[in-house]
Chain A
Amino acid sequence: MKYAYYPGCSLEATAKEYNQSAKLVARHLGVELWEIPDWSCCGATAAHNNNHLLSLALPARNLAIAEAEGLDVAVPCAACFNRLRAAETAVRESESMRATISEIIGRDYRATNKTRALLDVMVNEVGLEKIKEQVVKPLAGLKLAAYYGCLLVRPPKLTAFDDPEDPMAMDRLIDALGGEAVSWSYKTECCGGSLATARGDIGVRMIYQVLRHARDAGAEGVVTACPLCFLNLDMREAQAAAAHGDQFQLPIFYFTELMGLALGYAPKDLGLTTHFVNPLPLLEAKEILRHPATRRETA
């Protein structure tokens, strides 16, 4: 199983643990990730808010490189995934758009390849059965809120991935890893994205709502598939709680980090030591870091 890999800018910076853990678990599960050489930024929200054509051309450049190699593209970042899908769909649906984009990026691009979210590849291509077979350290007793945010599942016509109101891919993955996915109502609420930087008053309130609802549903941690969601929730958790006279210790995880743990990798190899909210105390309390062979017998 081979995919062109488009990490996106965040995975080289604030989300480097996502990159690290994604590559590790992919290799473990026999998924070859061919990193698109000299990939460029997808333009993110800034491009499509400012210029429609630019917002399609920037991702198309990367898709064209993968297409020339005959590969579908696997994308860990939910925001990049959404933008790449937008470009792919626009080109596939309109011959004139195809010509325009090809001219702007100076390469031929016909959208014959497909963009897939890395979560989709793991759950639906590698498959939960195969992942389950590889689990050596089940996330036993760990209650987690699967947080999808917006761009992974919306708009459904574009993402064509999971139910836009009640997606289950990550929930089923958590269960396959031996953990327990809680049922909660904020799994697709927006984290505020870049509003947290420009309008902190709004962003912090949105972040607080997500975290509070996860905690109130009994979750001990939140699982994400988006570097923006992760950064907002992890880095601003203390600020968001304080602003509302509340307090939490709710670690945030990338789904690939949890996969890595269950597959037997050490926290350090997965980047779990670089979070703002330290997840290690929780993992230790649940005895997840201990190898089953050395785990204390509980009567």
Chain B
Amino acid sequence: MERVELAGSLRRNQALKSQVEAESGVVLSDCYQCGKCSAGCPVAAWMDYTPRQVIRLLQLGLVEEALKSHTPWLCACCQACYTRCPREVNLPRLMEVVRQEARRRGLINEKKVDIFERAFLGTVERYGRAHEMGLIVQYNLQSGQPFKDAMLAPPLLLKGKISPFPMKIKDVAGIKDIFTRVRARGGDRS
């Protein structure tokens, strides 16, 4: 991270900072930087900024730095940090919001995570339920690794645990409506 002039960056990013707070319901100044969240985070070892550091960046108005981080994409949403935080900071929710803002700006730092989740939601919109087999195939093709987990597919098929055919619910139209109405509310801006 290069040298920054904090007062200026805080002033410049005030609107974005407030937007993140409003969307997540997290009051950034609640966090007093004790680090308990990061100590218990099972994914911290692979993150570029620990969860505590992500909040610190936001507190300082270094919002762009937070948006460029891989951390929100790697968060497993395990809720350990939120459960243990002495200030009840809802970090997983904050991670979601940072990640959604990053996507709006085309900053998708973990392409595979994103492709997987998009493919998942795609099957839900189309069939009303997740279709695991279709999901794996689509995910592998889009992420450019057609044979990933290939040795796991035949036993799954054999044990009847995945089906090549999706299970479509009757009220698919109802599900489509839910997606459409959410989009109409500006919910999915990506």
Contact = CB atoms under 8 A, between A and B. Distances in A.
A142 B98 CA distance: 46
Query: What interface size band does chain A fall in?
Result: 35 or more
A104 B174 CA distance: 10
B162 A13 contact: yes
**B interface: dominant SS:** helix
A45 B78 contact: no
Contacts, number: 162
20 contacts: A10-B132, A13-B162, A40-B128, A41-B130, A46-B117, A49-B96, A49-B117, A51-B182, A51-B188, A53-B182, A57-B178, A61-B175, A105-B174, A106-B177, A150-B80, A192-B76, A193-B78, A195-B113, A198-B113, A206-B42
Contact of B129 (A40, A52, A155, A188): A40
B155 interface: yes
Interface string B113-156: 10111101100100011101100100100010000110010011
Contact of A197 (B78, B139, B171): B139
Contacts of B152: 235
Interface in A197-213: 197-202, 206
Interface string B71-97: 000101111101100000000000010
Interface of B: 23, 42-43, 46, 74, 76-80, 82-83, 96, 99-100, 110, 112-113, 115-118, 120-121, 124, 128-130, 132-133, 136, 139, 143, 148-149, 152, 155-156, 159-163, 167, 169-171, 174-175, 177-179, 181-182, 185, 187-188, 190
A155 B187 contact: no
Contacts of A128: none
A190 B130 contact: no
Contact of B74 (A106, A156, A195, A276): A195
Nearest to B186: A53
Contact of A106 (B42, B167, B174): B174
A191 B177 CA distance: 34
A154 B80 contact: yes
Contacts of B149: 197
